[in-house]
A and B are shown apart, each in its own frame.
Chain A
Amino acid sequence: MNRMRRGTLERREAIFGWKLIAPTVIIISMLILYPVVYNIYISFFKISLNPEVPNQFVGLLNYVKLLTDSQFWRSFGVTIAFTLLTVAGSLVLGVGVALLMNRKFFGRGIVRALILLPYVTPLISIVFAWRFIFLPVNGPLVQFLASIHLMNPGTDIINNPNNAFLVVSVFNIWRNFPFVYLMVLATLQSIPDSLYESAEIDGANRWKQFTSITLPELYFILASIALLRGIWNFYKFDEVYLLSKFAGTLPIYIYNMAFTGIPRQGVAASAATILFVIMIASITLYVKKVLKW
C-alpha cells in the first residue's frame, strides 16, 4: 500500500515535471526542431514555386549539384578563412584590451563602458557609420587621412570588391572584440592576486606570469568563447551582406541560391544541411578535445 502510494507520488511528480517543461519543449520543437527536419526533407526535392505544380523528388541530385559546384567550394574556403581570422582576431584584441583594462587608472569606468559600444550599437547604424566615414572625398576619416598624406582622397575602401573580405573581417573583429573583452575581464578579476604575488617572489617576470598564471586561468573561458564566436561567425549573414556583394561566404551563397532569380530552395536547403552536419561534427569534436567535457 505504502509502496504503491509512493509510486503514484513519484509518477505524479514526474508528470508534473513534464507539464512544467512542456511549453519549452513544444516551443523549441516548433521553432528549431521542425525547421531543421523540414530543411533536411526539402533538400531532396526540386521545390516548385507554383502551388499547382507538385514538388519533385530528386533524391541526392541537389547534393551532387552542390558538391560539384566550384563556387560552393570557393565560398566554403572563404567561410573557413573568415571564421578563423575573425575568431582569432577578436580573441587577441579582446584579451589585450581586457589586460589593459584590468589595471587601475583614472577614468577607467568610462573607458570600460565605451569599449562596449561597438558590440551594443545596432548593426545597421554602425554599418552606415562605417560607410560614411570611409566615403571617398567626403568621408571624415578619408579627409583626415588624406590631410596627413596617408591616402588618396578618391580611394573607396569599403566598396572596392577586392577589399570585400578584409572589410568584413576587420569589421567583424572590431564589432565582436568587446564580447571577448567582457568575458575575459570578468575572469581576470576572479584570479586571486596572491598567485601573482607568489610568482613575483619566485622571480617570474611579467611574460612568465602571463603564460603560467593568466593564460591557464583563462583557458576554458577562451575556449568557450572561441566555440561560440566560431559558430556565430560561420553562419554570419547580416553584416557581411550589408557590407559587400563580393564577400562570398557560404551563408551569402545559400541566400543567393534561395532567394535571387528563380529561387532554388532545394539546393539551398541541401547546402544548409551540409553546413549543419559539418558544424555538429566539429562542435562535438571541439567540445570533447578542447573543452574536455
Chain B
Amino acid sequence: MWKKSFLVFALVALMVGAVFAQSITFWTTEVESNRMQRIQALATIFEAQTGIKVNVVPVQENAVFKRFIAAKAAGTLPDIMEAGIEPLVLLGSEGLMDTQLNAEVINHFGDVYTGVKRLMYAGNGGYYGIPFHAWVQGIWYHKNWLDAKNLGAPTTWYNILEAAKELNDPAKGVYGFVLPKKADSYAEQVFTEIALANGARPFDAKGNVTLNTPQMIEAFRFYKALGKYSMPGFTTVLDALNAYLSGKAAMIFYSTYIMDDIAVSEVQKKRIHSFDPQLVKNTGFANKMMNIRTTSYGQVVGLGILKPSKDKSDAVKFAEFLMTGDNYIYWLHMAPGGMNPTRRSIATNPKFLDNEVLKRYGAAKIANIIAALDNVERFDFYNGKVVTKMSKLSSNFVIGKAINLMFANNWTPEQTAEWAQKEAERVLKSQ
C-alpha cells in the first residue's frame, strides 16, 4: 500500500515537474542523424547555461504542414522552428509567425546581411524568420575540360549552351549537362535562375500569373535546348551529383552543399566509391548567370518564432544562443559550404574558416560565395516584397511539372508556358 501511494506521488510529482519546468519545443529540418547529434549537443549546452530545456524535434521540410496539423491537435506546437523560406512564409501568411519578435532578434544582432534578410521581410518592419544560414546555387563545372576547349566560364546563356554542346559525348558516356527534368523542387530552383537571367518572373507587380510571357517562353526554350546536350531520362538531383563526381557530366546545377562531396574523400567515396583528389582544383563555380541581366539564386534557412508560443522569451534566448560565437560556428560546420553564416561578424571569424573543407577552398573563395548571398534573387521575392503566392506554386510543383511534361511530350516552349500558366491559375484558385 505504502509502495503504491509512493508510486502515485512520484508520478504526480514528475508530471507537475514536467509542466512547470521551463522547456521549449524546437523544430528543425536538419533531420540527418549526425546533424541531429550536433543540435542535441547544442540544446544540452543551452540547458546547462540557462536551465531551459529544449525539445528538439526533427521534421522533414516537406512534412512541416503535416506535422503542424497533428501538433496543433495535440497542443504540441513548436515555439521556434528552423526551416527554409517557403514553409516560414506560408506559416507567416496564416498569421503564425511572430514577425515583430523575429525583427527584434535581427536588430539585436545588427550585422545580418541585408541581402538575406530582405527575402524574409513581412512588411511593417517585421520578418517571417531570422535568417540563420544560406546557400547559393550555381553551375559547378570541370574547369579543365572547358579550358582545354577554350570555352568561357558558363556564366552566360551563350557560354553555357556552347560548352554543353562541345562537351556532350554520349558515345563515351559523357554528357554536357545533367539537367533536372523531373517534377520536383530541384527543377524549379534551376529554372528560377535561368528565367531570372532573362528577366522572367511568374508574377507581375499586381500579383497576376505571368508564366506565359515572351521572356518566360524564351527561358523554357533555353531549358529545352540545354536538355538536348544532357543525360537522357528524367534525371534529378542525385543523378546530377553522381554524374559530376564520376566525370560523366561536364556541368551541373548544384548548391554549395556540393563542396564537401567534391573535397572530402570519405564523402565522395560514399557517393561513387572512388575519390579524385584533383577535383577541388579542377572545379569551377559559376555563382551567377546572365542573359539580358545578371542574377544568382540561393536559399535562406531561417529561425522563426511562432506566434502561438507561450515561451517566446525563452525562444528568443535560444535563437540568440544558436546564432552567437562558437555555438553558431559549431552549427554551420555541420555542412561546411552548404551552411553559410548570415552574420557578417561570423563570416569573417577565423574560427569559422578553420575547417577541413572550407580550408581546401581557401578564404577568398568562401568570401566570394558568401558575398553572392547579397545578390540572391528568387521567384518568391519581388520589388521588396515577399510573394506568398509563389510558395503555393512551389509546394504544388507547378514549374517542375511543366518541365517534366515539356520533355516527356516534346512540347514547344509555348505549349509548356501555356500549360504552366493554366495550372498555376488553377492551383491558386483552389487554395
Interface residues of A in 110-142 (CB under 8 A from B): 135-137
Whether A49 is near chain B, meaning CB under 8 Å from some CB there, is: yes
The answer to whether A51 touches B401, judged by C-beta atoms less than 8 angstroms apart, is no
Taken together as a complex, chains A and B put the C-alpha atoms of A53 and B75 apart, in Å, by 14
List of B residues within 8 angstroms of A258 by Cβ: 66, 69
The answer to whether B397 touches A245, judged by C-beta atoms less than 8 angstroms apart, is yes
Report the contact-size class of chain B (Cβ under 8 Å from the partner). Answer: 35 or more
The answer to whether B232 touches A137, judged by C-beta atoms less than 8 angstroms apart, is yes
Whether A75 is near chain B, meaning CB under 8 Å from some CB there, is: no
The answer to whether A156 touches B395, judged by C-beta atoms less than 8 angstroms apart, is no
The answer to whether A261 touches B90, judged by C-beta atoms less than 8 angstroms apart, is yes
Whether B68 is near chain A, meaning CB under 8 Å from some CB there, is: yes
The answer to whether A159 touches B234, judged by C-beta atoms less than 8 angstroms apart, is yes
The answer to whether B231 touches A263, judged by C-beta atoms less than 8 angstroms apart, is no
The answer to whether B408 touches A137, judged by C-beta atoms less than 8 angstroms apart, is no
Taken together as a complex, chains A and B put the C-alpha atoms of A264 and B66 apart, in Å, by 11
List of B residues within 8 angstroms of A49 by Cβ: 65, 68-69, 72, 91, 94, 96
Taken together as a complex, chains A and B put the C-alpha atoms of A69 and B430 apart, in Å, by 9
The answer to whether A261 touches B396, judged by C-beta atoms less than 8 angstroms apart, is yes
List of A residues within 8 angstroms of B408 by Cβ: 160-162
| Main DSSP-derived SS at the B contact region | helix
List of B residues within 8 angstroms of A265 by Cβ: 69
List of A residues within 8 angstroms of B427 by Cβ: 261
The answer to whether A161 touches B405, judged by C-beta atoms less than 8 angstroms apart, is yes
The answer to whether B183 touches A245, judged by C-beta atoms less than 8 angstroms apart, is yes
Interface centre among A154, A159, A261 (most CB of B within 10 A): A261
The answer to whether A135 touches B404, judged by C-beta atoms less than 8 angstroms apart, is no
- Fill in one digit per residue for B302-342: 1 if any A CB lies within 8 Å of its CB, else 0: 00000110000000000000000000000000000000000
- Fill in one digit per residue for B48-79: 1 if any A CB lies within 8 Å of its CB, else 0: 00000000000000010110110010010100
Whether B182 is near chain A, meaning CB under 8 Å from some CB there, is: yes
Can you report 6 A-B residue pairs in the complex whose CB atoms are below 8 A from each other?
Answer: A49-B91, A49-B94, A50-B95, A156-B232, A156-B233, A159-B234
Given contacts A137-B232, A159-B234, A245-B401, 6 further A-B contacts (CB under 8 A): A48-B94, A136-B233, A245-B183, A259-B66, A260-B396, A263-B69
Q: Which A residues contact B (CB, under 8 angstroms)?
A: 48-53, 69, 71, 135-137, 153-156, 159-162, 245-246, 256, 258-265
